[in-house]
């Protein structure tokens, strides 16, 4: 034996081979440098893709929808609101300021007692119509309700606006009326129930007189009663024009298979007249509804499994707006009712885009990932390089964004 195993020729050959394998050619060193940077690029793109689908995608589509709503005058608080709107199957509309123009006007004043006979008459106690209007306006001038503003406007037209309620005597109950002392006299203005609570006369006589006063008002008009010093003394006939677009908007909601209801604190006869003009069944309109009852009505619908959108524009609707699945507060501007239909249509269009994008993204990746992995190579001879695969990943995201932006055309 002249040499151990490590010193044999075979061992030398093994060492030479290992040394050769350890040495890298210049082109391999270049490939290693590129591969390192490419690896970081792929990781960055992967992280970007994760961030997009995890955080950006759920908000991208609603943001397109909310931006489009803003262009049409709709202030949508966020994507969660659009999602709620998409689920709505029942719409409850307040009448005044939503279905109607919200600019009511006094068209007739009737007085109680022997002097009854409309404008220009006197009460049984000799109080003139102008005096009644003057006293009522003094109370209603502290209220912001549309019917109160109508009485104040009528007093201004007649030149009798000037009195004010005595200090610290004004009291208002939403949906019922207002009461105050004016020059030492108690003046109550509101519903017949409100007047009854502030009257001291015979109940039966008061109710009979209220029926007579309502009978003198034109059918379907809102009647606001007035009490003076504990007695029912007259009533104001107030008319609010239905918005020209209201009938078309309700028809549009019905075509979209939405259940539509109208609530109002006005007399049921006045609300029924609105239903006839709008083509709604009488069982879908509800008059004499107090603010708390509006909220209870919404809750009752929700207990039936309904997803309810409540639409209103006043303090009387606050509780119902809060209870509803979706509360839509209108600013009282022109086309308020139309904006409701537009908001619901925008929500449905937005979520259609989301569904389209999800289908596209899943289908694209289900097909693209196996192709990028080489699954098509044995079958069709198609093999994507890493750079092309990365580029196709970007095309997927661009497709989703482009489809979302098409919402602007709706």
Query: 224 forms bridges with which residues in the sheet?
Result: 236
| Over residues 65-81, mean pLDDT | 49
Tell me what pLDDT residue 48 has: 64
Percent of the chain's residues with pLDDT above 90: 10
| Over residues 388-397, mean pLDDT | 70
Contact 194, 173 (CB under 8 A): yes
Q: How many CA atoms lie within 13 A of 192 on its CB side?
A: 19
Tell me what pLDDT residue 145 has: 83
Closest CA to 360 of 391, 404, 409, 390: 404
Tell me what pLDDT residue 70 has: 45
Contact 152, 140 (CB under 8 A): yes
Contact 235, 129 (CB under 8 A): no
Tens digit of each residue's pLDDT (9 = 90 or more) over 202-230:
667 777 777 777 776 666 678 898 989 88
Tell me what pLDDT residue 25 has: 43
Tens digit of each residue's pLDDT (9 = 90 or more) over 239-275:
888 888 888 888 888 888 889 999 888 778 888 888 8
| Over residues 328-357, mean pLDDT | 65
Active site residues: 94
d(CA 76, CA 61): 13
Tens digit of each residue's pLDDT (9 = 90 or more) over 303-342:
999 988 888 876 677 788 888 888 777 755 444 555 666 6
Tens digit of each residue's pLDDT (9 = 90 or more) over 289-308:
888 888 899 999 999 999 88
CA distances from 254 to 258, 279, 284, 290, 307 (A): 5, 11, 12, 26, 15
């Amino acid at each position: 034996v002249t040499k151990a195993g490590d010193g044999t020729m075979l061992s030398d050959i093994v060492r030479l081979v290992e040394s050769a394998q350890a040495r890298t050619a210049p082109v391999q060193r270049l490939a290693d440098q590129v591969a390192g940077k490419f690896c970081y690029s792929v990781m960055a793109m992967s992280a970007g893709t994760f961030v997009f689908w995890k955080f950006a995608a759920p908000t991208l589509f609603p943001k397109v929808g909310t931006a489009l709503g803003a262009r049409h005058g709709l202030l949508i608080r966020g994507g969660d609101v659009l999602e709620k709107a998409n689920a709505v199957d029942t719409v409850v509309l307040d009448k005044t300021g939503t279905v109607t123009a919200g600019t009511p006007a006094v068209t007739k004043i009737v007085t109680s007692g022997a002097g009854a006979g409309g404008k220009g008459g006197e009460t049984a106690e000799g109080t003139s119509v102008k005096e009644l209007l003057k006293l009522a306006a003094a109370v209603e001038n502290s209220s912001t309700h549309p019917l109160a503003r109508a009485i104040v406007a009528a007093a201004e037209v007649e030149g009798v606006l000037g009195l004010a309620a005595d200090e610290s005597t004004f009291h208002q109950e939403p949906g019922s009326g207002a009461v105050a002392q004016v020059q030492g006299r108690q003046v109550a203005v509101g519903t017949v129930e409100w007047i009854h609570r502030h009257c001291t006369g015979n109940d039966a006589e008061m109710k009979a007189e209220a029926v007579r006063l309502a009978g003198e008002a034109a059918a379907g008009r809102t009647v606001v009663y007035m009490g003076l010093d504990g007695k029912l003394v007259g009533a104001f006939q107030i008319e609010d024009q239905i918005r020209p677009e209201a009938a078309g908007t309700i028809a549009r909601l019905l075509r979209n298979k939405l259940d539509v209801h109208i609530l109002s604190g006005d007399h049921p006869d006045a609300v029924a007249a609105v239903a006839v003009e709008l083509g709604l069944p009488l069982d879908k309109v509800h008059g004499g509804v107090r603010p708390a009852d509006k909220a209870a009505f919404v809750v009752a619908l929700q207990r039936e499994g309904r997803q309810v959108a409540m639409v209103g524009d006043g303090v009387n609707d606050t509780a119902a707006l809060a209870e509803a699945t979706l509360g839509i507060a209108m600013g009282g501007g022109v086309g308020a009712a139309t904006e409701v239909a537009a908001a619901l249509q925008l929500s449905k269009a937005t979520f259609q885009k989301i569904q389209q994008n999800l289908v596209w993204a899943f289908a694209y990746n289900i097909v693209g990932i196996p192709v990028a992995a080489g699954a098509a190579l044995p079958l069709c001879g198609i093999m994507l390089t890493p750079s092309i695969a990365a580029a196709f990943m970007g095309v997927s995201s661009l497709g989703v964004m482009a489809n979302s932006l098409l919402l602007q055309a709706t």
